[in-house]
Structure 1
C-alpha cells in the first residue's frame, strides 16, 4: 500500500516550510503567506492527494468535531430512527460525526453513556427519545452545548426540539371539517400519554373553531386491535353484525395502526372507505399508511426534521464559540399527507 502523503511532503513539493503549508490548509494564509506560495501549496496538495490529519486539526482547535447522542430505544427502531438519520446527515454536512449510544431505557446504561462520551471529549450532546415524553436531563448535559429531541425537560432548564402535536391534531381534524363532515368520532389513544394529550387539545381546538359542540374523545390504545375494538363499538349494532344508521361519517385516529384497525372493522361490517366512512390517521407510518387500500390520509411526525434541527442548534452555538445555557422549545410542524381515505360524507 502506498504511503499517505504528509504535510512535509507537500512542503517539499512546493518549496516552502511546513508551517506555511499549515497556514494555507487551515485557512489562515491571508496576510501571512504570499499569494504565489499559496497557489504552489494548493497545487502540491492536489498533486499528492493530501488531506490534513483530522485528529491533529481537532487538537489544534480544541474540538473533536463529534456530537454525542444518547437515546432510549430509537437506534433499534426503524420509525423514530429517522430522527437519527436527520441528525447524522446535518452533522456530516458540517464536518461532524455522531457517536450514538442506545440505553434500552436503563438508567445505569445512560450514566455510562454520558461518561464515555465526555471521556471522548465530544463537542456537544443530544438526548433523543423514541416517544414524546418528559425527561430529566443528565447532569452532563449542563456542561456542554446540549439539546433534547422528541422530549422535554419538565423543569424547563434545557432546550428541546419536538413535533408540534397540538397543531398536528388540529390539522388532522380540519381534514374532515373541510370535507364537510359533521358527525365525527375521535379515537385518542391513551390519554396519559403526552402526545395523545396534545393531539386531543388540537382536536378540541379545531372543533371549537368550527362552531360545533364539543366531541368527547374515545380513549383507545395505540395498536390495530384497539382501533378495531373501538370501531366495532362505535359503528355496529349490539351484536356487531351490521352498521348503525346514525354512526359517524368520519373518524380521526390516534395513529395509523389504530386507523388500520378501523379499516378492518369497516371490512367486517361491509362499510366502504371513504364512501361510507372517512378515516384520518396519524404518524405517516412507513409502509403501513401508503399500502392500505385506499391509501391512508394522515399527519406525519417530522422525526428527520427534529434530528436536523437539534444538530443545527448545536452547530450554531459551536460556530459562535460561546457556551450558553438555553431553555425553551422549538416546535417542528407536522405536515398533512393526503391519500385516498377521506371523501365528502355520504348522503343519508
Structure 2
C-alpha cells in the first residue's frame, strides 16, 4: 500500500488555520492578508508534513501548467545555449521547460504534437529555434488560430504577425569590421568578406543583412568591397588566402560570416605557412561553434547572444500570456551581438 498523500487540509489542520489561508501562503494570493506568525506556522507545517503542491490541481484552478515547450534540435550547440537562457528566466517565474525535438530532419509532426500539448493544457507557450530562412505560413496560421503564446527564435524575420527574437546581424558585421581596423592596428588594405553558405543560407535575410552591412561599411570608409563566396566544408580556402596575399605587402584582413568555417581556414593557412594573427588577420561575424574557445590562436569573433535570446523569448511568452503586447511594442525583438576579442585579429 502506498503512503497516503499529504493534502492542504492536513497542512491547515496542523497549522490551525483554514485551507484558504494555506492557499494564500502558497500562492501569495492578493487581497488576503496573512500575518507573519500565521505564515510561519503554515510554512512549518508544510516542512513537517513534507507537503508538495498538487500540480494537476493547481493547473485546473489557474489554467496554467507552469511549463513551456522548447522545440529544436537537441544535438545542436546553439539550442543548448538557447535553453540555458530559457532556464534562467523560467527559474525566476517558477516555470519548467519541456524539451521537444523533431524525430528526424524535415519532420513536421513534432510541431503538430506541440499543438496537442497546448490543447491538453500540458504547456502554456512555445519557443522554437528555427533557421534564419524559416517562415512556414501554415504553422504560423495554426498557432494564431489557436491563440497559443508563441515565439520563434531566428525565424519569421520578414513575416508580420509572428513574435520573433532575432540577432542584429548588420550590427555584428559593423562591430567586427570596426574591431579589425581599430586604431593602433597596422595599415592594411580594405577587409575581405568570405561568405560561407549551406542549403539554408544561400540568400536568406541574415546573410543579406551581413553582406549589405559589409558593403555599406566599405563604402562609408572609402574602401572597395571584396566578397568571396564558398560552400561549407568545400571552401577553396587556399585560393582565398592567396587572394589576400596578392592584395599587397600587407595581407587584407579577412572577415568570415561563420566560425564553423574557421577550422578549415586555419588548416589552409597552416599548409601555406601563414601565421594567424600575424601574417593574416582573421575574424568571424557569427560564433556558431564558440570558436574563440576552441581555436588556436584564439579566434576574434562576434558572438550571437543565444543565451540572452532564450531569456527574451521567455519574457515575450509571459507578456503574451498576461494579456498580449501593448501598443507600441514590436513583435520583432532585435538583440545586439557581443564582441569576443582573440589572438587571430
Name the TM tier (shorter chain): 0.7 to 0.9
Alpha-carbon contact 1:29-1:38 (below 8 Å) kept: no
User: How far apart, in 2, do the equivalents of 1:285 and 1:154 lie?
Assistant: 22
The alignment's TM-score, normalised by the length of structure 2, stands at: 0.84
Alpha-carbon contact 1:158-1:327 (below 8 Å) kept: no
Alpha-carbon contact 2:228-2:240 (below 8 Å) kept: no
Q: Indicate yes or no: 2:161 matched with 1:157.
A: yes
CA shift, 1:156, in A, is: 1.1
Q: Which residue of 2 aligns with 1:328?
A: 331
Alpha-carbon contact 1:299-1:334 (below 8 Å) kept: yes
Task: Calculate the aligned-residue CA RMSD, in Å.
Answer: 2.8
Q: Which residue of 1 aligns with 2:240?
A: 231
Alpha-carbon contact 2:237-2:268 (below 8 Å) kept: yes
Q: Which residue of 2 aligns with 1:140?
A: 142
Alpha-carbon contact 1:282-1:300 (below 8 Å) kept: yes
Instruction: Choose which of 250, 266, 271 in structure 2 pairs with 1:268.
Output: 271
Q: Indicate yes or no: 2:134 matched with 1:119.
A: no
User: How far apart, in 2, do the equivalents of 1:323 and 1:183 lie?
Assistant: 47
Q: Indicate yes or no: 2:97 matched with 1:86.
A: no
Alpha-carbon contact 1:256-1:283 (below 8 Å) kept: yes
Instruction: Choose which of 203, 207, 213 in structure 2 pairs with 1:192.
Output: 203
Q: How does 1:177-188 map to 2 (within 5 A)?
A: 177-178=181-182, 179=185, 180-188=187-195
Alpha-carbon contact 1:147-1:161 (below 8 Å) kept: yes
CA shift, 1:252, in A, is: 0.7
Q: Which residue of 2 aligns with 1:346?
A: none
Q: Which residue of 2 aligns with 1:206?
A: 217
Q: Which residue of 1 aligns with 2:13?
A: 12
Structure 1: any 5+ residue segments left out of the alignment? 237-242, 343-348
Q: Which residue of 2 aligns with 1:306?
A: 309
Per the alignment, do residues 185 and 25 of structure 1 end up closer, same or farther by CA in structure 2, a change over 3 Å counting? closer
CA shift, 1:256, in A, is: 1.7
CA shift, 1:277, in A, is: 0.9
Answer with 140-149 or 165-174: which moved more. 140-149
User: How far apart, in 1, do the equivalents of 2:100 and 2:239 lie?
Assistant: 38
Q: Which residue of 2 aligns with 1:128?
A: 129
Q: Which residue of 2 aligns with 1:240?
A: none
CA shift, 1:330, in A, is: 0.8
User: How far apart, in 1, do the equivalents of 2:324 and 2:294 lie?
Assistant: 47
**Alignment length, in residue pairs?**
329
Q: Which residue of 2 aligns with 1:296?
A: 299
